[in-house]
Chains A and B, each alone.
Chain A
Amino acid sequence: MSDAAVGELFADEVVTHAVVRDVALPNEAGTLALITLDNGHDHTKPNTFGPNSLAELDAALDTIAVRDDIAAVGVTGKPFIFAVGADLNGVPLIQRREDAVAIARLGHDVFRRLGELHVPSFAYYNGAAMGGGVEIGLHCSYRTISSGVPAFALPETFLGLVPGWGGTYLLPNLIGAEKALKVVIENPLSQNRMLKGPQAYELGIADAIFEPADFLEESLAWTARVLNGEITVRRAEVDTGKAWDDAVAMARWNVDGKLHGAAPSYPKALDLVAAAKDRTRDEGFAAEDEALADLIMSDELRAGLYAFDLTQKRAKKPAGAPDASLARPVTKVGVVGAGLMASQLALLFARRMEVPVVLTDLDQERLDKGVGYARGEIDKLLAKGRVSPDKANRLKSLITGSLGKDAFADADFVIEAVFEEMSVKRKVFAEVEEHVSAECVLATNTSSLSVSEMAAGLEHPERVVGFHFFNPVAVLPLLEIVRGEATDDAALATAFAAGKALKKSCVLVKDAPAFVVNRVLLRLLAEIVRAVDEGTPIETAERAAQPLGLPMPPFVLMGLVGPAIALHVNETLHAAFPDRFPLSDNLAKLVASGKPGVYLPDFSLDPEAVEIFGGGDRPSTQEQVLDRALAALADEIRIMLDEGVVAAPQDIDLCMILGAGWPFHLGGITPYLDRSGVSEKATGRRFLAPGVASLNG
């Protein structure tokens, strides 16, 4: 038994205490021993379960198990928080499978006691519940949930685990496989979507739902009525026949289609749910122990935890950002241009910063269209109930248009979103500078042009920053903030403060061609297009990257971005690095043809596009394409790090996760390149030390 060893790995655990207090139930229903889970911090540090927390809960259950004077046991959380699952901080330190098994078993051994006591048990989900927090309640005889619960989820598969403290066994046996898979598989697979209290109740996870104002009192009153027999809890019967198998098959098809076997957590969770209907509780839990141990000892989980940490911590404290106190207030924003991108930016600034935003364009018609678009989007939000009528009025009044740039006179932050051409952008900035104060930040949304070059010749080049959004700007969380050669700390700090106000995750990037995300994506695309130019069928090239589980195949991505933009960025990169970013004549032809990509609207290949890319006589196999693509990625990322484009491999990974949706099981990309041996083969060294995003050994 290595419980002690596991406890040592979690030496820094913030222990969630399990405090027991007797409650006299209404209607003389007897005494309930109420366990409060509380780690002693406020809601910003939620309750979690590490081995020491589990030991406290176990001890609390010891005192309860011997009592003959109680009618029931209850479990609830601290204000606003029930519990958010296992403490993951110690997991990366686990090096032996036996320790992984021990932590899996410990969770089961403690939680299952709640379902095996001499009296009924009740979980009162009073606040956020995730992972093990959900599971502890599943072990109880009954559950109530607050309609105010903001997040209820089993996110384990998203991170690279399975809900293996009872989740994959108890949940499908409680609400059926179809509904359980929604929680165990479908939601984690959809950007880790969470349920709210009423949805969890609708799924049948909780037996009763009460409003937050007196949730505990009403839950206890309900408990008394259940114990007195006044209320009989009725649950829908679970279909363990065809419906169960069909639901598993459907989920498996969905997972395979998206991930092609790339992330082991999903198929493992599916296998557990599939078998849960025929297993005893002991068998089910034992299978969960083994699955958890396998996954804890997997590189995919280590990469997932690394990625999770990046998005939770590094994304909030950008590496290399200047002191936030240097930031100047932004009370008005200018947007040069009134095209689609400009209108989207205006909308974003107005919604998030709630300051006046003025668009300028030389053409009244374009201006009206741009302002109209932004205001129209606000009306859509109003129609969906996302903003109140008053808020809609306020936001719409914030967005105005002007033909003259004199409207920028009192702006503190002006961003340009004009045609992607250096001379045009330089001219625009020079014009803006005539009207604005010397401190006004000038930001460019260029995706590939040099920020330093754009600033050169301005009276105040130190105020120019790159502010690179990703499409759709309202959705994708990444913002690459580019420091030009002349950019000063105050302008940069103001840009970071603005990015934060826009609720974006900002990464500091050196002024280098195409910055981070586009450069990495284009190097991958260039390699794949080269293979196609050489004669590899497009279908083969598209399938090549499937084992990575990327959000979409390369040519689908090209269609989404638009072949013209892909070509433009490719040209920029070619100008800088002609060897690594060759120009594809075929790509140029595709752009010239005006086609939106190589696919037809029905997602079949466009024969004319296939024709354009035809003619090569040195086809590669799927495996060869993948090898080349990965080697190219490793090569490019190594060069970027050597050039100092970002501070560390972590920033590349963060950019790829947030800007391109690259998955957690790859850890972005560098953990995958390391563990697959590609980095050492292609560049002679790893990106990250063993153990940072992988197993040590």
Chain B
Amino acid sequence: MPRTARDVVFVDGVRTPFGKAGPKGLYAETRADDMVVRAIRELLRRNPSLPPERVDEVAVAATTQTGDQGLTIGRSAAVLAGLPKSVPGYAIDRMCAGAMTAVTTTGAGIAFGSYDVVIAGGVEHMGRHPMGEGVDPNPRFLAERLVDPSALVMGSTAENLHDRFPGITRERADAYAVRSQRKVAAAYAAGKIQPDLVPTAIRSAEKGWGLATEDEPPRPGTTPDDLAGLKTPFRVHGNVTAGNAAGLNDGATACLLAAEDVARELGLTPRMRLADFAFAGVEPEVMGVGPVPATERLLARNALTMDDIGLIEINEAFAVQVLAFLEHFKIADDDARVNPWGGAIALGHPLASSGVRLMNQLARLFEERPDVRFGLTTMCVGMGMGGTVLWENVNWEGSK
């Protein structure tokens, strides 16, 4: 039976405010599944023309899939969110690119004709599930030198990246980080970030109930001097600090994807079109360079060059990893196309949830920029990978 691929659109995306992981963080006593449930419910509430039973899949990513992030979280979140029991769900893991993979995988399913509407998102409560919780690396990794011993420590892979790109200095990384903080502060002041935040109930035994309404991690007013004095915990006299990397965070995201014709039928407003995506592997010890081959592959397949890309939402796991990407594509460190509203260094990076945050911001940026046709969301992934998604702006006014 011949098939015709269908156009896939990103309709809407939301997230909880991101919190700092740890006993003093916003979400210290809040469950991860409750956070993603809140995001899903708000997503449905914001799109009332969507009959809940029309959701064909709920794909939720988490890096650590135990406890409140276990029990095949996409399905359990669907049930807890009150979606009809007929709506299935599952869990996805590609570490930091979990939510991105939830989008590409279910999006591909829409294009294939198997789904009409899906919810994709991710959650990571790094306070309840510290990075590396319960991992048991196969001893062959090291015995057979399949990976470098530093490959499983993300900060060390970032130091390795400084070695590969000797021109990226600590100063450049810190300067990038300061800009990220400034951009986030400016975006907050202009009300750019808030529309897609879902106020989320938080409770602590000591303080009672509260409401998380804003991201906790940003440090507006950070100066290069503030960063210069920070320690380099991953390497003596190294370059990677808490200031030029994303922190350890808690957060959840969810977005709504649909076949374009179904979106029209249901009265859902598309914000951007999923044009293509690519994932690529690199040596795990320099996982931060992953976005480079993924993006090269994607651009080549679509006969595009970086000049055709008007907006880039790149995850800022580490400043050096962003700078490596920019250097490779000969883009200036402060190019206005890149993370115009700042990134994860300021906002935080709750691993598997971040992919959809990038998309939320790109979708909002597209609305403001009808002159831009194509944008990217891209991120590096542990164990040596990168993923890039090519999006087309539905508001693009054409080459007038």
Contact = CB atoms under 8 A, between A and B. Distances in A.
Q: Are A and B part of the same complex?
A: yes
Contact of B211 (A19, A24, A38, A211): A24
Nearest to B206: A19
B149 interface: no
A26 B42 CA distance: 14
A20 B42 CA distance: 26
Nearest to B194: A26
Nearest to B200: A217
A404 interface: no
B208 to A, nearest CB: 3
A38 B205 contact: yes
Given A217-B38, A217-B200, A24 B213 contact: yes
A76 B209 contact: yes
B81 A221 contact: no
A220 B199 contact: yes
A198 B131 CA distance: 43
Q: From B80, B81, B203, B209, name the one whose CB has the most chain A CB atoms within 10 angstroms.
A: B209
A221 B209 contact: no
Nearest to B208: A36
B201 A217 contact: yes
Contacts of B42: 214
A213 B203 CA distance: 14
A189 interface: no
Given A211-B82, A213-B81, A217-B200, A26 B209 contact: no
A21 B82 contact: no
A21 B207 contact: yes
A40 interface: yes
Nearest to A22: B210
Given A214-B38, A216-B201, A23 B207 contact: no
A460 B80 CA distance: 53
B41 interface: yes
Nearest to A38: B208
A79 B31 CA distance: 13
B41 A220 contact: no
SS of B interface (majority): mixed
A220 B208 contact: no
Q: From B80, B199, B210, B213, name the one whose CB has the most chain A CB atoms within 10 angstroms.
A: B199
B200 A34 contact: no
A347 interface: no
Interface residues of A, number: 21
Interface residues of B, number: 21
B246 interface: no
A246 B173 CA distance: 80
A22 B205 CA distance: 15
A35 interface: yes
Given A36-B208, A38-B208, A214 B201 contact: yes
Given A40-B205, A220-B199, A213 B211 contact: no
B209 A214 contact: no
B37 interface: yes
Contacts of B81: 213
Interface string A587-625: 000000000000000000000000000000000000000
B199 A217 contact: yes
A34 B209 contact: yes
A19 B207 contact: yes
Contacts of A216: 201, 209, 211
A90 B210 CA distance: 33
B213 A26 contact: yes
Contacts of A40: 205
B209 A21 contact: yes
A564 B200 CA distance: 66
Interface in A523-544: none
A24 B26 CA distance: 14
Interface string A3-26: 000000000000000011111101
A36 B210 CA distance: 9
A26 B203 CA distance: 18
Contacts of A22: 210
Interface string B176-213: 00000000000000000000001111010111111101
Q: From B82, B206, B207, B210, name the one whose CB has the most chain A CB atoms within 10 angstroms.
A: B210
Interface string A206-228: 00000101101100110000000
B43 to A, nearest CB: 12
A213 B41 contact: yes
Contacts of B205: 38, 40
Contacts of B201: 214, 216-217, 220
Contact of B80 (A26, A34, A213, A221): A213
A80 to B, nearest CB: 12
A221 B197 CA distance: 13
Contacts of B38: 213-214, 217
Interface string B13-30: 000000000000000000
B208 A23 contact: no
Q: From A20, A36, A221, name the one whose CB has the most chain B CB atoms within 10 angstroms.
A: A36
Interface string B209-220: 111011000000
A23 B200 contact: no
Nearest to A219: B201
A216 B202 CA distance: 10
Interface in B45-88: 80-82
Contacts of A217: 38, 198-201, 211
A36 B200 CA distance: 16
B210 A23 contact: yes
Nearest to A220: B211
A79 B201 CA distance: 12
Given A213-B80, A216-B211, 14 more contacts: A19-B208, A21-B208, A21-B210, A23-B211, A26-B199, A34-B208, A36-B208, A36-B209, A76-B209, A213-B37, A213-B81, A214-B201, A217-B198, A221-B199
Closest 3 CB pairs of A and B: A36-B208, A19-B208, A216-B201
Interface of B: 37-38, 41-42, 80-82, 198-201, 203, 205-211, 213-214
Interface of A: 19-24, 26, 34-36, 38, 40, 76, 79, 211, 213-214, 216-217, 220-221
22 contacts: A19-B206, A19-B207, A19-B208, A21-B207, A22-B210, A23-B209, A24-B211, A26-B199, A34-B210, A34-B211, A36-B203, A36-B208, A36-B209, A38-B208, A213-B37, A213-B81, A214-B42, A216-B201, A216-B211, A217-B199, A220-B199, A220-B211
